[in-house]
Every structure is written in structure tokens, then in C-alpha cells.
Amino acid sequence: MSNNLLKGKRGIIFGALNDQSIAWKVAELAHLHGAEFVLTNAPIAMRMGEINHLAEKTGSKVIPADATSVADLEKLIAESMEILGGKIDFILHSIGMSINVRKGNHYTNENYDYTMKGLDVSALSFHKVMQTAMKLDAMNEWGSIVALTYIAAQRIFPDYNDMADNKSYLESIARSFGYHYGQAKKVRVNTISQSPTMTTAGSGVKGFDGFINFSEQMSPLGNATAEDCANYCVAMFSDLTRFVTMQNLFHDGGYSSTGVTQAVMEKFQS
């Protein structure tokens, strides 16, 4: 595609861990569409990843930052503006992690220190990014900020655990901050509620295979892939969607509006 929907736009992309990551696909596609951006990830996550290959491929700089640390975020955003030569037009927040999930704590047996830490990483970090950007006056008017979420914020999936509550909090931050950032600077803030995606993060969830299979069979168009999601992110970063804000946008092949499909029903008929 020869489009350049993001030409002249500057961004910051959180969460590109490896080439299965949605954020990775967003970076590749944003680059094709003419954007310039900084890549960032938690120092510990970055050592595991191959982010430098992505940086090379897209002509980007990498700045490590712990998204729960306001100091790190201040440094990240200030340096990004310097590197990119101006204010920021788009931010992708693709960060999530539940220690309770990792440790195998059932939802009814949470360790509350883990709960708080997971919330900080998965949700409050989104507020911190925006609060820091606002304090540094780092966003251009009509800038676009997107965080990735999952429908567990609305409907319960037993193994998704406290990530459901984290995603609800994240989506609420999008609305709350979207209100204030919209009024103050015409910046828009949305969440994209993506099909379950076989990323490194996703594969940490127990029974994830069955989960993806169920979702595939419950979606009239099938599950959206990471590449599809990147396309949608580019649309949301572009000037085509300037009046969409404070929304949770389902990108899921119709899953969210489907009660049941023929294929699934057949498993329940005698």
C-alpha cells in the first residue's frame, strides 16, 4: 500500500516485545505510513526482546522506560520530543501483566500486593503516560492516544483473572483522561478491544489455546490478527478519526455482538 496516512506524525510506541507483539506490527505499519516514532519498553522486557531489529528496520530510537515510573516517563517523553523534533501526535499503550496470573493465584485467592502491582503496570501506567505528557505539553492538537484492551472488561472469562478488573480500570482512564485532554488540547483517547491474540503476553494466560479457538468460532469474521489490529491503530492515529474519543472500540470480527454461532451451537445440540 502506497498510503502515507501518518506522514509527518511523531509517535511513541510502548510494548513491542517481539515480532508477535501487536505493538511491533503497529511500528512496522506506522513506519510504512510515514510516521516517525520512538520505541519503548520496560528495561527487563527489552532484554528479552529483539526490539533493536525493529528499531533498525523502522529507523527508530529505543528508550527504555518503566511505565510505572513517572521519572522514567518524563525522561522518555522529553527525549522523544527532542529526537523526533517536535510534539507528539500519537501514543500506543500496549502493556499488561498480572502477577496473580503468573503465580497461579485464583481470582478468589488474590495476593493484594500482586493485584496492586499488576494494576499499576497494566492500567495506572496509562494515566501516568498521559499525565506526564500533559505536564510536558508534549501532545499536538488532535493527537491520538490508544491503549489495547480486551472484552474481559465487560464479560468474565474465568482464567483472565484480575486482568479483567485492570482492563476495566484502563478503559475508564481512557474516558476520564479523554475528557480532560479533549477539552484542554483536543487530544483524543480511545481503547481498542482486540480479539485474543497469540502474543507472548497472551500465551501466559492459562488455557489460552481453547480461549482463542472458542473466540475464533464465535466470531463471524474469525479472530482479528495482530496485523489487522495494527491497521486499525493506524486508522485511529490518522486524521480520518479525529472526532472519535473516549470510546472502547471492538476490533474482534464481530465477537462482541454475537450471542452464538452455528458452529458453536452444534456442540450443544443433542
List binders of its own copies among 30-69 (CB under 8 A): none
Q: Which of 195, 197, 199, 205 binds its own copies (CB under 8 A)?
A: 195
* Beta carbons within 10 angstroms of residue 205's beta carbon: 21
140 lies in the site for its own copies, by CB under 8 A: no
Q: Which of 53, 103, 184, 200 binds its own copies (CB under 8 A)?
A: 184
Write down the least CB distance from residue 147 to its own copies, Å: 13
d(C-alpha 1, C-alpha 136), whole Å: 35
**Burial label, 156 (beta-carbon count in 10 A; 0-12, 13-18, 19+):** exposed
Write down the least CB distance from residue 47 to its own copies, Å: 26
Residues 223-262 that bind its own copies (CB under 8 A): 224, 228-229, 231-232, 234-235, 238-247, 249-254, 256-262
Size of the site for its own copies (CB under 8 A): 100
104 lies in the site for its own copies, by CB under 8 A: no
88 lies in the site for its own copies, by CB under 8 A: no
175 lies in the site for its own copies, by CB under 8 A: yes
Q: Is 59 left (phi over 0), alpha (psi -120 to 50) or beta?
A: left
Q: Which of 91, 110, 118, 145 binds its own copies (CB under 8 A)?
A: 110
- 193, 204 Cβ separation under 8 angstroms: no
**Burial label, 79 (beta-carbon count in 10 A; 0-12, 13-18, 19+):** middle
118 lies in the site for its own copies, by CB under 8 A: no
d(C-alpha 213, C-alpha 234), whole Å: 27
What is the H or E stretch that residue 216 is in? helix 208-218
Residues 196-215 that bind its own copies (CB under 8 A): 207, 209-211, 213-214
